[in-house]
Structure 1
Amino acid sequence: MKKTYTLWAGALVASLLMSTTAFAAGPSVIIQRDNDSNNARLYLTGVSDDITSAEISLTSKQNLENTNFLGYENLAYSHHTEKDGTLTIYADALSAMEKQNDQIYLGNLTIPNDVSFTGVSKLITLNSKDAATAYAQVSLSDDGSNNSGNGDNGNGGGSNSGGSNSGGSSSSNNNRPTGTTGRPAIKGDQTNGMIIANNDGSVSIQPHDGYEVRDVLVNGVSQGAVHQLLHLKSTDVVEVVFAPVQQPSTGSTNFSDVPANQWYAPAVSYVTQRGLFSGVSETQFAPHQSMTRGMLVSVLYRFNGTSHTGTSPFADVSSGAWYGNAVSWAYTNNLVSGVSDTSFAPNTPITREQAAVMLARYLKFSGIALENGTPDFQDTASISGYAKESVGAMQKAGLLSGDNAGNFHPDAQITRAEIASIFMRLCQKYGI
């Protein structure tokens, strides 16, 4: 699961046509390793002074399973994912990230001794006006890397310096190929937006009223919904996918048992439009019906977007059941356990504290680190010991709340409407 940036369709053209002079040397990712440990500090340089968010993908030929990123304490949000030899790091701040000597400190990496990085396959930054910039050429300075010389960054010619980096300064910008930028080719229909390609290798994108940038492709590779590209070559081909602006949900649904004025109506509309939930019939959602263990596992399975076939050790979960693959997937990934060694009880209503545990485990599995917290409810003492950490973390993240009297009711059955609201808040908070 990765983070996605939501860009306002009405962003000012002036902000998109910003000068690229400040980036003449090109952006660079710097990994500064400690001499006697597996710890390293991660820096970003050569980008705008008004950066509030960054997404960085580092490539490696080694297994990155035990490589971790911990954002510095002033970040509002940070996490990382690892897939197929690529470590993707997300960092968000509430205001512009502070620079020292043109370097932005993002946090610490834990890197096993046998791991080195070969390049930067993606760098996307977001500024305080929610305008995103994707960089086609990004250099890498890793002072502990065994790779030396120039390496392909996977997206148009970045370089990797394997030499020593003293004092936090990067020498990798000197290795960046010169004379390679130029006006890229623009492909596709421009009826719904304006695309300006410049001789310095930059591209500015502005959708027309009523449209938004859905995706930007460079040589067929997705860059996400960005509004600017830098350091492209004349041989690069840019294609922009514009789409009508999606209006926020008004709470209107096709379910007769979900009136538009109910508190859960926007959430029901949100989760059904995304295909996470379906109704119990074409006209009924059953918002007050208790969520069962099988239902919640199935929602998580659809939410993860994975494909899985397999079996589980539970005698009451047949492989042909509608929740069979979901339970097998969740059990395989340690997201759930049974009520006994051989029973899962898929049709048993799940309690509020059980749901909190399952959801917290899923977020951790997805690479989203929740802050530790102690539950702060009037009835905290009644929360089971195994569930307190998860309930506290979910409450601190703003994903769970109590009733008007401040009670959590850990043993109460959680309803379909309540789970729908949690998923809507989760998606909106983490940009999923």
Structure 2
Amino acid sequence: MELEQLQSVENLHAFCGRVLGHAGRRGNAVVYPCPFGTHSKPHLEVVEYRGKGRWKCWACDRSGDIFDLYAAMNGVDVKSRFHEAVEGVCGVLGVSYREERTTPRKSRKNARAGASRRRAKKAALAEAEDMPPAPAFLGAEDAAALEECRERLRNDRGLARELLGELGLSVWLATVCTEPGTGLPLIGATEDRRLVYLYSAPDETGRMKLTGAKLRRRGGMRNARLRLEGGAWKEYGLMDAPPDDLKGGARFVSLCGKCCQPWGMGAARDRQTVIVTEGESDCLAMVEAVEWLRETYGLDPETGRPYETAAGSLESMLPAVVAVPGVSGFRKGWASLFSGKNVIVAMDGDEAGRKAAAVLVEALSGLGAVRSWTPPEEYKDARKMLLSAGPRALCEAVFSVMSNTGRGHEQ
């Protein structure tokens, strides 16, 4: 068996099954007991990325390929004793390793074999960078302050109508997107009545916890730049532009922490189809359209239960919606979060949006069925289409792409 074949996801599953024990499931993810800690539950996840098997333990933040796993478990320096790691993996799998054919000269053969191992290891290290980063959760004080923002928007209907109405969105999103623990995109409001986007990620038990927050500038008021430190709000200048700068200023500022995964990714763990938007407002527009569909057609009026078809219930087929902060903000490792899913990349309808869609489609290609959707020419983006044409038209436009997700991808 050659080196690339040993690195397949099938061989990694076989290896983990023999040395780590029985596989479990967390949503769509396959997980095994981690050999590096005392975790009470399996946290070592195995995925296929660009045709090769990769593993990552979310509890102890270790990752790599099949050779890294063997080396770490057996105290082998994979850089200096890579061949030993290969032989060890072959021993577990019960296969033999076949090196590339080289010239008969021993010195040249050894040199080429060493170069091959170095190239393989370099590629493995590069791929390790593409695994999702471990989430960094906020401290208790900052998390509590942001929970107050979430509760403020959830409980103040007038404030929710103001902030969401300015974006052309329905006020009931303040109920849907302020429900903790769902993994859906979360929103809140500051004490001075500005919209806050709350970022979250699952911890080692699967519970959603806050990792950061972003503040949106609001028109017609003084917009102080805010920073949340140790649960205290601090001002450090203005988001607004000087009077003579009509296009300047900052539309958003980070309040604390960071986005460790796309906004709303928690809801995508158990969904087969995911819509990826650029920016939070388009994401909220898509969420509104999907929620409208659920409320309108989701329940059988006679039974009160979700409609069932040959393909399953409507609920099981509804897509999750996530947002990325622009193509330049799509981080290394995020692509693997979409492995095995049907993905619809929904960018703006202008030239920049089409170029951004092409970049994301390329980044996600090979992980699942990926397609690109842009709104009809008369609409700039999904939010404008929702505002002008309504949720039904937006759903029908996006669902026309969903029906073709099983046949490759288009740009």
Would you say same fold, with TM above 0.5? no
Structure with the largest fraction of helix: 2
TM-score norm. by structure 2 comes to: 0.30
TM-score norm. by structure 1 comes to: 0.29
